[in-house]
Chain A
Amino acid sequence: NAGVTQTPKFRVLKTGQSMTLLCAQDMNHEYMYWYRQDPGMGLRLIHYSVGEGTTAKGEVPDGYNVSRLKKQNFLLGLESAAPSQTSVYFCASSYSAGRGFGYEQYFGPGTRLTVT
């Protein structure tokens, strides 16, 4: 059971280039999330998905797109990278909403992206 995995671990892009970050989970979670973490700050939600084929905007969605074609995968795309998108990106997953315990989000190891 690998949990949540992310590829790549590191990437350097030039301004205007595009790339896709891949997140995969093997826990059969319904919900998946993409966050960014800037130095000295907490995590901010970019986009999320409550199920295969569905996506929704989070707190900071501009400049990013996502797709959830398979339940276990959640892709984050940058169509035209900007230096302001330099950050560490984390993917997370959780069981579907409910009341009680056991609905915490499980996080991947992160992707460090630098845009020059």
Chain B
Amino acid sequence: GESVGLHLPTLSVQEGDNSIINCAYSNSASDYFIWYKQESGKGPQFIIDIRSNMDKRQGQRVTVLLNKTVKHLSLQIAATQPGDSAVYFCAETIQTGANNLFFGTGTRLTVIP
């Protein structure tokens, strides 16, 4: 079956440093990946997505890297700010059918002022 997991369940970084959150997936057929941010008491919020025909995609202060050879996904946050403290989830899907997402368990990022 499909599974999405994370290498580090918790991550603490100093304000201003860069953060890297990792994710492993097992379904080689997945062709669309999404990173979500979830703050306490709120629903997941879309951060950035990437398709399987790409290795890298950049947004505002965030970059997602995809390594299909080892089925690995990472989220890089530049100049981490206190407002970045949250739980981050990666999710995978195959872009046919119902777009059902399979989520990992999440990584809690804590930014130290």
Binding site for B on A (CB under 8 A): 4, 31, 33, 40-45, 48, 50, 56, 58, 90, 92, 94, 97-101, 103-110
A115 CA to B45 CA in the complex, in Å? 27
Is the CB–CB distance between B95 and A105 below 8 Å? no
Q: Across the interface, name the chain B residue whose C-beta is closest to A45.
A: B100
Q: Which 4 A-B pairs have the closest CB atoms?
A: A42-B103, A107-B43, A43-B103, A104-B46
Question: In the complex, how many angstroms separate the beta carbon of B59 from the nearest chain A beta carbon?
Answer: 11
0/1 interface trace, chain B 36-54, chain A, CB 8 Å (1 if under): 1000011111100101000
User: Which residues of the other chain, A, contact B101 by a CB distance below 8 angstroms?
Assistant: 43, 45, 105
How many interface residues does chain B have, given as a range? 20 to 34
Binding site for A on B (CB under 8 A): 4, 31-32, 34, 36, 41-46, 49, 51, 89, 95-101, 103-106
Question: In the complex, how many angstroms separate the beta carbon of A105 from the nearest chain B beta carbon?
Answer: 6
